[in-house]
Amino acid sequence: MSSNATTIKGIYVHIPFCISKCPYCDFISGIPPDENIVEQYFGALKKEILIQSNLYNLEDCETLYFGGGTPSLFPKKLEEVFQLLQRLCPKIQEVTVEINPQRNFNPSHFEFATRVSLGAQTFSPKYLKILGRTHTVQDSITSIKRAVAKFKSTNIDIMFALPGQSPQEHLDDLKRAVDLGANHISAYMLTPYEETPFGKAVKKGMIKLPNDISKFFEVQKFLEDKNFKRYEVSNFAIPNFECRHNLIYWNREDFLGFGLSAWSKIGDTRFSNTKNIKDYISKLSENKLPISFHESLDVHRKIEEIIFLGLRKIGEGIDISQIQKFLDVKGFLESALKRFGKFLELSADKDGNPKFLRLKQKYIYYIDAITVELMILAEKYMDLKTNG
């Protein structure tokens, strides 16, 4: 019986195995899928789920997301995990599996899923090679067509601002994704993470990334003409096909993460599992949770999180009701609009009270800078509230 009154809305399950490691990837992934370690890993994963299900009530959980890594390498094992979770979480409605495109992708191996997310990344052979991806354009096309025919919702991951890429080439990728019938598109800017081979090559000047990012965001307007809505800075969906699981993160609802390096959020507490697979398996073999990091958000970190996640929800924005008890909202909003009014807009309720502060669509590529500025400003108006 659960001893914790929190309402878990979503579950993330991390599968860290991949056939090879892509040079730009900084996820905890790319572990070779040797049979022995895969067996041990899934055994540990099930044990972790059972231990946590004794601590938390999972009955109201709505979503399950298998991410990685490459979960699609293990359809039978995912189904076993799904069956276990289905018993614990009878209200799950959305089940997503990340799929690596491949010519022999068989959707019927994933009957338990309602939604798949295909890592196509680009439809250009040239850029697939630059990204070090092992799949081909034809692999993506075949996989997407089969997914669209089978699942309620199909997401396609597209990367942009690739070395040497023009905005027009990014637009070509988006057009292809729409033509293939996706109802959700995640468009991520390539980030040269320092510790990756790709990041190191960028640092040494061996690879050059495009300078003017704004043009890439501009061509994404094409998706709006095709009835997609940008509901988060990197995510577009046909209305009613938004990813409920991701909304749990952006709405700051509670979720549990299982597997290597997985994060959980319970109220104002965040914790994550070890990144070392041997530790992960060995801890669980002793019936211990493999948690290696734990933090409780103080009011400062909480405001930062509300601003960071709120601004990302394009079209909605920062929910003023979430911050008003912590800071002098009137002063904060006046100052924010005076200094950054060109980039921001404020919506009001029917009585004229401020409701949401959001970034104007046309300045979306300034999101990181505006986020930092608003966090600094919020800090100032938090002190004013505390000091009367």
In the bound state with ligand SF4, the residue whose beta carbon lies nearer, of 70 and 153, is 70
CB of 92 to ligand SF4, least distance (A): 24
Q: Which is nearer to ligand SF4, 198 or 356 (CB)?
A: 198
Query: Least CB distance from residue 100 to ligand SF4, whole Å?
Result: 6
The C-alpha angle 66, 67, 68, rounded to 5 degrees, equals: 135
Nearest to residue 135, comparing CAs of 14, 216, 18?
Answer: 18
- The sheet that has 153-160: what strands, in order across it? 229-232, 235-237, 184-189, 153-160, 115-121, 94-99, 63-68, 8-15, 254-258, 263-266, 269-273, 291-296
Residue nearer to ligand SF4 on the CB measure, 115 or 135: 135
Beta bridge partners of 347: 356
Q: How far is the CB of 117 from ligand SF4 (least distance, A)?
A: 11
Question: Closest approach of Cβ 18 to ligand SF4, in Å?
Answer: 3
Sign of torsion over alpha carbons 225, 231, 233, 234: negative
Half-sphere exposure of 73 (CA within 13 A, CB side): 21
User: Where on the chain is the footprint of ligand SF4 (CB under 6 A)?
Assistant: 18, 21-22, 25, 27, 29-30, 68-70, 100, 119
Q: Which is nearer to ligand SF4, 162 or 303 (CB)?
A: 162
DSSP state of 33: -
CB of 377 to ligand SF4, least distance (A): 36
Residue among 232, 248, 249, 73 at smallest CA distance from 155? 232
Which residue, among 229, 233, 234, 151, has the nearest Cα to 186 in the 3D structure?
234
CB 325 within 8 A of CB 355: no
Nearer to ligand SF4, 147 or 318 (CB): 147
Nearer to ligand SF4, 27 or 222 (CB): 27
Q: Please state, in angstroms and rounded to a whole number, the distance separating the CA atoms of residues 319 and 347.
A: 10
Least separation in angstroms between residue 190's CB and ligand SF4 is: 11
Its sign, for the CA torsion 323, 329, 335, 340, is: positive
As measured in angstroms, the least distance from the Cβ of 28 to ligand SF4 is 9
For the CB of residue 272, give the shortest distance to ligand SF4 in the complex, in Å.
17
Beta strands in the chain (DSSP E): 8-15, 63-68, 94-99, 115-121, 153-160, 184-189, 229-232, 235-237, 254-258, 263-266, 269-273, 291-296, 318-319, 344-348, 354-359
Minimum Å distance from CB 68 to ligand SF4? 5
DSSP class of residue 135?
S
30 or 192: CB nearest ligand SF4: 30
Judge contact between 252 and 309, C-beta under 8 A.
Answer: yes
Cis peptide before 388 (omega within 30 of 0): no
CB closer to ligand SF4, 124 vs 371: 124
Is 284:290 a contact under the CB 8 Å cutoff? yes
From the CB of residue 277, how many other CB atoms can be counted at a distance below 10 Å?
Answer: 20
Which residue's CB is nearer to ligand SF4, number 41 or number 326? 41
